[in-house]
Amino acid sequence: MKKNNHKFNKSIFRAYDIRGIVSETLSVKDAYFIGYNFATNVKQKFNSVNIIVGYDGRLSSPILEKNLIQGLLNTGAYVTRIGVCTSPMLYYASERLRADGAIMITGSHNPSNYNGFKILTKEGSYFGKEILNLLKTKIEKPLLGKSHYFNISNSYISELVDAIAFDKKNISVVWDTGNGSTGDILKKLVKHLPGKHIMINSDVDGTFPSHHPDPTEEKNLIDIKKSIKKNKADIGIAFDGDGDRIGVLDSEGNFISGDKLLLLYAMDILKNKPHSKIIADVKASNIIFETINSLGGEAIMCKTGHSLIKAKMKETKALLAGEMSGHIFFADDYYGFDDALYASVRLLNIISKGFNIKKFLDKFKNLYSTPEIKVFCEDNKKFKVINQIIKIAHKKYKKAIYIDGIRVNFSYGWWLIRASNTQPAIIIRCEANSKKNLLNLTKEVELILSEFNLKLKI
């Protein structure tokens, strides 16, 4: 057995996945060894190596797939290729085909020169220390595995169609796939959906010519807002690059944040399944937790991160979970993973019942909040900064939560400071019951950050 002398750029190994700049921090050789090392670990754990591989529409994805699969095959693995797909399609394939593991090649919502790997096994997400184990595996004599292509799209579409529970012919929806990999599968899905459906930026194009594929940033919603207005649509739905995050806008083009969207789904589930457990990430508004509990549900606050939330859902048997970033996880009549297309169908089911979104949003009219603010902080410094702020918080604040960074509650609002697990950044969010109190909270956070030479820009 030979030692693996290949050296990775360690910056590509993140908390939940592997992500880097292609040909700079992430190479095709990395893809080979990620495949080889992962399959070796899977074989040791399960005594079998049946791996599914899919990829998004980025220009670098096919060459990374080729090298990744070669690494998998050289362990003797049996590889099922599903081609261009969304991350949820890969998760679905893994469930239905009962794979030992699966790898999605995707840069998610990062710029077009990025790419990466989302990894899972039949036991769940592959993250944290498990990802770091990919650095350590030793090489054995290459074996000859086998691979074949499998079309998962028809089965996946059938699953989504089975979830459709409305026949409202006059509903009008604008869809913006941001040139991500959701485009092709959405074109098939809308043929089964009642109503009028307008698709924009729907051609899969890894250069993302229309806009950056992040549906939570205002600058990326210009196209869909224009189309909603032009077509007098009831709702707009946007996606990120690999289809696991959803962004929703009402008929007036107002963006509905991820935590509000989560509450909308929670209210619907709790009507028929009271006492259900619902998970929201640490960035969510207090009103989300309060409303879920008042409706008889059990609201659970969780660390941010799709892998962490999936693990928490499994642990608590929660029926629903969501993040501010637009990851929505349904274990209610579904598999428990984040699927933006499935979330879209569930949303249209709710709206078709006559759900009044404007009235729903009125719940939040007396709340003032910042968006998610990212303050640049180098990867090798950000967690040290957070640890220092935690020490300060222990001495200064009585009502602080340390689930993920520091969240401090006051009678009039709260603020959150945490380290991003995917970017060189400190994440800030503040919420208050008045503009004045919001300003006071942001000033307090600004003062704390200034002690570490970090500048808060709102």
| Residue numbers annotated as active site | 108
Q: For residue 83, what are the β-bridge partners?
A: 54
Q: For residue 426, what are the β-bridge partners?
A: 375, 419
Strand order in the sheet with 320-322: 298-302, 277-281, 320-322, 328-330
Going by their DSSP bridges, the two strands 413-419 and 425-432 should be labelled as: antiparallel
Q: How far is CA 21 from the centre of its chain?
A: 19
HSE of 52 in the Cβ direction (CA atoms, 13 Å)? 29
CB atoms within 10 A of CB 98: 9
Going by their DSSP bridges, the two strands 328-330 and 18-21 should be labelled as: unpaired
Q: For residue 321, what are the β-bridge partners?
A: 279, 329
Spell out the residues 6+ positions from residue 443 whose beta carbon is closer than 8 angstroms to its own.
none
User: How far is Cα 444 from Cα 438, in angstroms, rounded to an integer?
Assistant: 10
Contact between 125 and 311 (Cβ < 8 Å): yes
The secondary structure of the chain in percent helix, strand, coil, rounded to multiples of 5, reads: 40, 25, 40
DSSP class per residue in 57-70: S-TTHHHHHHHHHH
SS3 state at 354: coil
Q: Strand ranges (DSSP E) for 158-241?
A: 172-176, 196-200, 235-239
Q: How far is CA 100 from the centre of its chain?
A: 22
Q: Which two tokens stand for residue 353?
A: 């019942």
Going by their DSSP bridges, the two strands 320-322 and 277-281 should be labelled as: parallel
User: How far is Cα 72 from Cα 53, in angstroms, rounded to an integer?
Assistant: 10
